[in-house]
Amino acid sequence: MIWIAVTPTLLAINLLLGPLMAGIPVVPRTIITVTIAVPIVIYGVMPLLHRLRRRWVMSRRS
């Protein structure tokens, strides 16, 4: 589930901000990307995935 949450989030951030951060060296660019991605994943994407997984597991038990 982590991979499912992190990969699209990083992809979206890189697609949206990539042109703006093109002149920034790799390490600061990575720090900026991670600083944006981690809260999105932790507070947005992972809770949604946990709810979807719970529904899926419960529906399979029926």
CB-based contact 37:14 (threshold 8 Å): no
Q: What is the pLDDT averaged over residues 42-50? A: 96
Q: Is 1 helix (H, G, I), strand (E, B) or coil?
A: coil
Residue 62, pLDDT above cutoff 80: no
Enter the pTM of the model.
Answer: 0.83
State the pLDDT confidence band at 37, using cuts at 50, 70 and 90.
Answer: very high
Q: pLDDT value at position 61?
A: 80
What type of residue is 37? Answer: A
CB-based contact 13:38 (threshold 8 Å): no
3-class DSSP string for 23-43: CCCHHHHHHHHHHHHHHHHHH
Q: What is the pLDDT averaged over residues 30-34? A: 96
